[in-house]
Chains A and B, each alone.
Chain A
């Protein structure tokens, strides 16, 4: 069974606000963690990768943090837009064997 937890409830926010999504994991010590975006009926699309020795990673309006002590990653979208509405998945390689395990995903809905 998957031991990567993401908030299964949808996150609804107003356009322009910052969205924060959480990914928690247990029993693993991954060397890195990845975030993906998935639109309905489509495959996931890679967004960001953060390594265990990196506290924070940024890409345009996206920011990811990785706390290996808390076993948690936070994914932030600043100045959110309706086009950011999608499901966001976190994934990690629990045994460092190039086999990614995914969380259940959190659906983000940005309202104008």
Chain B
């Protein structure tokens, strides 16, 4: 399977714990995005990378969230001191190019986080 893969698919954690998710993009894609989606809503942009550089982070994103893409390949998203409001589906997507090339996003099937 050469699509975007995310691990784990499901994560249940207690409030206050830290969690880390992993995303493996399509190998030749240099752009990687993280989105968050709650029930009945569309995906909400969190952050994105061009190779290993983090180009933008949503102003809505708490300082408890951090993302890395150390070698320009896989990425991790960490949430520290989780809160119940963090419960959501976390989606990763990848695409080619830079600049205004209009490339569609290829999404993984997400990590569903439940904070109890």
A31 close to B (CB within 8 Å): yes
Q: Which residue of B lies closest to A44 (CB)?
A: B107
Residues of chain A at interface, number, CB under 8 A: 28
Q: Which residue from chain A places its CB closest to the CB of B108 in the assembled complex?
A: A43
A-B contact count (CB 8 A): 66
Query: In the complex, which residues of chain A have a beta carbon less than 8 angstroms from the beta carbon of B33?
Result: 99-100
Q: Which A-chain residue is minimally distant from B97 (CB atoms)?
A: A98
> Which of B44, B56, B102, B107: most chain A CB closer than 10 A?
B102
Q: Name B's interface SS.
A: loop
The CB with the most chain B CB atoms within 10 A, among A43, A51, A100, is that of A43
> Is residue B93 contacting chain A, with contact meaning CB distance below 8 A?
yes
Inter-chain contact B42/A98, CB cutoff 8 Å? no
- With known contacts A8-B40, A51-B102, A101–B45 Cβ distance under 8 A: yes
- Please report B residues at the A interface, Cβ cutoff 8 Å: 4, 31, 33, 35, 40-45, 48, 56, 91, 93, 97-110, 112
